[in-house]
């Protein structure tokens, strides 16, 4: 899943192919039905929960013209809807969400 | 010859891509600090600049991830990001393949390093260059420390790599500048983007200015993750500059949180003038 997004971010040709047929470009990759659905809808919140690194995911969001604040909100909604991040660096020590981070740091607000 | 400039700066994509959303009172002061850094870099007479970045899966991926990599090309294209999104037009930055080869050969005396004849610059290098060499008239030697995909190189190895880079700069006749780029505490591109642990940042920069090796190595990834987010792993780039600067003392020229940029925006440098015995 991340391999596809990594290659998508690097390749204007793959971006064109993805725009033309989102399912066809995923054929070479070994993906679950859930991953295919998240990549084709697209469901940024689900992709985040599935473990896509934000440094990769933010470019995918930009490709879909998703504004920055909307991108952040879609990830928050994903955690709310689908539960904690399942894999990757955000799950490494247990991603506990924005509220817990706020409390642990003793800070208010945030973007 | 000895390094002619050593400094660090932030590289967050919002610095150029979301500048219209920041409080101009703070962001303008930050941009002014970047202008001063450019002036200092030019005054140094540097003939090439080593930029130690924390690359973000633009070139290096988990299928073949080096802990350390150095570019070895005559030109580098960038930015890989959409120009409108990043606020930086497409560019071709000059490199220096011959100089890269000599630096890499010297680094390899003590640290194993990957080299790359192809390298697409992402915001980690593009944002600093946008401010520091806006005409793209200074050869760039791109350097990457994997700060994104664990397992990450231990901090003491990042330090050893920085020392090796310093020795390599000493060994070539060109005047070399070295700049580390990254965030301090930050949770970039995640639901927590915008959260900043400013107290932690100031403490880190105090250790950085004192160039206190023991204090800088007294972190581990678990407490960095807890206190400073996954973006905090990028302290490796700042620490490598500390090591390269060989005990020089530093000054923070600017360090203020700008949440829409997702980081405490920072510009700092080391005093490389000869010290009295």
Which CATH number do you get for residue A39?
1.10.700
Q: Which two tokens stand for residue B228?
A: 């400073």
Please indicate whether residue B123 is annotated as part of the active site: yes
Alpha-carbon dihedral sign for residues B10, B12, B18, B21: negative
Return the minimum-mean-pLDDT range out of A92-106, B101-115, B138-152.
Answer: A92-106
| % chain B with pLDDT above 90 | 95
CA distance A6 to chain B (A): 7
How many separate domains does chain A show? 1
Q: Among B45, B271, B9, B245, which Cα is nearest to B138's?
A: B45
Q: Is residue A111 part of a domain?
A: no
Give the phi and the psi of residue B114 in degrees, each rounded to 5: -85, 150
Interface test with B, best of A4, A12, A59 (most B CBs within 10 A): A59
Whether pLDDT at B47 is above 90 = yes
pLDDT of residue A109: 41
Q: Is A72 on the interface with B (CB under 8 A)?
A: yes
Range of the domain at A24: 2-105
Indicate whether A110 belongs to any domain: no
Q: At what angle do helices B123-132 and B24-43 cross, to 10 degrees?
A: 80
The answer to the question of residue A52 being in a domain is: yes
pLDDT at B111 over 90: yes
Mean predicted confidence (pLDDT) in B41-62? 96
DSSP string, A40-106: HTT-HHHHHHHT--HHHHHHHHHHTT--HHHHHHHHHHHHHHH-S--SSTTTTT---HHHHHHHHHT
Report pLDDT for B276: 61
Which residues on chain A are in Cβ contact (under 8 Å) with B120?
Answer: 10
Catalytic residue among B11, B56, B130, B186: B186
Task: Compute CA distances B112 → A14, A26, B109, B165, B220, whole Å.
Answer: 34, 36, 8, 12, 22
Coil/strand/helix, residue B189: coil
What is the percent of chain B with per-residue pLDDT over 70, rounded to a whole number?
Answer: 99
Q: What is the pLDDT of residue B149?
A: 86
Sign of dihedral through CA atoms A93, A98, A99, A105?
positive
Within a domain: A26: yes
Work out how many CB contacts closer than 8 A connect A with B: 87
Angle at CA B86, nearest 5°, toward B203 and A26?
110
pLDDT of B137 strictly over 50: yes
Stretch B169-179: mean pLDDT, rounded? 98
Q: Determine, yes or no, domain membership for A36.
A: yes
* Contact status of A19 with chain B (Cβ, < 8 Å): no
Contact B195 A56 (CB under 8 A): no
Query: What is the predicted pLDDT for the residue at B60?
Result: 94
**Whether B186 is catalytic:** yes
Distance CA B89, CA B103 (A): 30
With a cut of 90, say whether residue B240 has pLDDT above it. yes
pLDDT confidence of residue A97: 55
pLDDT at A110: 40
Q: Which of residues 52-71 of B touch A (CB under 8 A)?
A: 56-58, 61-63
- Is it the case that residue B93 has pLDDT exceeding 60? yes
Mean pLDDT for each consecutive 10-residue tract of chain A (111 residues)?
A: 95 96 97 97 96 93 93 93 87 56 50 41
Within a domain: A37: yes
Name all domains of chain B by residue range, CATH numbers in brackets: 5-174+185-244+257-270 (3.40.830.10)
Q: How far is CA B55 from CA A17, B167, B169, B180, B266, in A?
A: 26, 23, 22, 12, 18
Q: Is the pLDDT of residue B9 over 90?
A: yes
Tell whether omega for the bond before B79 is within 30 degrees of 0, i.e. cis: yes
Computed over every residue of chain B, the mean pLDDT equals 96
Q: Inform me whether the C-beta atom of residue A82 falls under 8 Å from chain B C-beta atoms.
A: no
Verify whether the Cβ–Cβ distance A55 to B189 is below 8 Å: yes
Q: Higher model confidence: residue B199 or residue A109? A: B199
């Amino acid at each position: 899943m991340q391999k596809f997004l990594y290659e998508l971010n690097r390749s204007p040709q793959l971006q064109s192919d993805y725009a033309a047929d989102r399912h066809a470009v995923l054929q070479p990759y070994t993906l679950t039905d859930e991953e295919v659905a998240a990549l084709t809808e697209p469901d940024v919140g689900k992709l985040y929960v599935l473990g896509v690194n934000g440094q990769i995911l933010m470019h995918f969001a930009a490709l879909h013209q998703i504004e920055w604040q909307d991108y952040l909100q879609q990830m928050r909604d994903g955690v709310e809807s689908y539960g904690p991040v399942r894999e990757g660096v955000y799950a490494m020590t247990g991603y506990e969400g924005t509220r817990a981070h706020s409390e642990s740091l003793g800070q208010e607000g945030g973007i | 010859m000895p390094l002619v400039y050593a400094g660090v700066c932030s590289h967050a994509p919002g610095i150029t891509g979301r500048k219209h959303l920041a409080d101009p009172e703070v962001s303008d002061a930050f941009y002014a600090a970047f202008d001063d850094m450019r002036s200092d870099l030019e005054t140094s007479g540097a003939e090439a600049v080593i930029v130690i970045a924390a690359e973000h899966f633009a070139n290096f991926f988990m299928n073949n991830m080096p802990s350390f990599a150095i570019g070895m090309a005559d030109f580098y294209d960038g930015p890989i990001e959409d120009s409108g999104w990043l606020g930086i037009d497409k560019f071709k930055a000059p490199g220096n393949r011959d100089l890269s080869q000599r630096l890499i050969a010297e680094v390899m005396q003590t640290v194993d390093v990957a080299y790359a004849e192809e390298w697409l610059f992402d915001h980690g290098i593009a944002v600093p260059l946008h401010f520091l060499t806006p005409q793209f008239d200074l050869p760039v030697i791109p350097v990457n420390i994997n700060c994104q995909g664990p397992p990450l190189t231990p901090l003491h190895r990042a330090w050893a790599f920085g020392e090796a880079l310093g020795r390599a700069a000493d060994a070539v006749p060109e005047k070399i500048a070295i700049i580390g780029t990254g965030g301090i505490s930050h949770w970039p591109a995640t639901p927590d983007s915008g959260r900043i642990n400013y107290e932690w940042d100031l403490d880190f920069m105090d250790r950085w200015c004192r160039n206190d090796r023991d204090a800088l190595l007294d972190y581990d990834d678990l407490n960095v993750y807890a206190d400073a987010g996954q973006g905090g792993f990028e302290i490796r780039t700042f620490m490598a500059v500390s090591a390269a600067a060989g005990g020089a003392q530093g000054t923070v020229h600017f360090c203020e949180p700008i949440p829409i940029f997702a980081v405490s925006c920072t510009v700092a440098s080391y005093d490389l003038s000869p010290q009295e015995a």
